[in-house]
Chains A and B, each alone.
Chain A
Amino acid sequence: MKKITIVDYGSGNVLSAQKSFVKIAKDNNIDVEVLISKKLSDVKDSTHIVLPGQGAFATCMNGLKKTDGLIDELCEFALIKKKPFLGICVGMQMLANMSEENGVHEGLGWIDGKIKLLPGDNLKLPHMGWNLVVPTISKYNNLISNKNDYYFVHSYYFDCSNKDNILAETKYGTNFASIVGKENIYGVQFHPEKSSSQGLNLLKGFIKV
Chain B
Amino acid sequence: MVKTRIIPCLDVKDGRVVKGINFLNLIDAGDPVEQAKHYSENGADEICFLDISASLENRDTMVSVVENTANEVFIPLTVGGGISSIENIHALLKAGADKVSINSAAIKNPNIIREASDYFGNQCIVVAVDAKKSQNDWYVYSHGGTKKTDLLALKWIEKVQNLGAGEILLTSMDKDGTKSGFDNELLSKVSEFLKIPLIASGGVGSLDHFYDGVVKGKADALLAASVFHFNEISIKEVKKYLRERNINIRD
Contact = CB atoms under 8 A, between A and B. Distances in A.
Interface residues of B, number: 35
B24 interface: no
Contacts of B221: 129
Interface stretch (B71-79, B145-153, B182-190): B71-79
B196 interface: yes
B76 A151 contact: yes
Contacts of A59: 121
Interface string B83-125: 0000000000111111000000000000000000001111110
A72 B26 CA distance: 56
Contacts of A99: none
Nearest to A53: B121
12 contacts: A13-B94, A15-B94, A54-B120, A55-B119, A55-B121, A124-B196, A124-B197, A128-B2, A131-B1, A172-B1, A196-B40, A196-B74
A159 interface: no
A14 to B, nearest CB: 9
A130 B3 contact: yes
A199 interface: yes
B195 A125 contact: yes
Contacts of A20: 74
A130 B5 contact: yes
A190 to B, nearest CB: 11
Interface in A145-183: 149, 151-155, 171-172
Interface residues of A, number: 35
B70 interface: yes
Contacts of B98: 13, 16, 153, 191, 194
B176 interface: no
Interface in B167-202: 167, 194-197
Contact of A23 (B5, B74, B95, B122): B74
A38 B121 CA distance: 21
B3 A129 contact: yes
A129 B251 contact: no
Interface of A: 12-13, 15-16, 19-20, 23, 54-56, 59, 124-131, 149, 151-155, 171-172, 191, 193-197, 199-200
B76 A54 contact: no
A128 B71 contact: no
A196 B74 CA distance: 5
B11 interface: no
A9 B206 CA distance: 46
A157 to B, nearest CB: 13
Given A54-B121, A128-B197, A15 B96 contact: yes
Contacts of B166: 126, 128
Contacts of A155: 123
B250 interface: yes
B120 A55 contact: yes
A129 B95 contact: no
A194 B124 CA distance: 14
B51 interface: no
Nearest to A55: B121
A192 to B, nearest CB: 9
B130 interface: no
Contacts of A171: 1
Contact of B75 (A13, A19, A127, A151): A151
A12 B122 CA distance: 12
Contacts of B122: 126
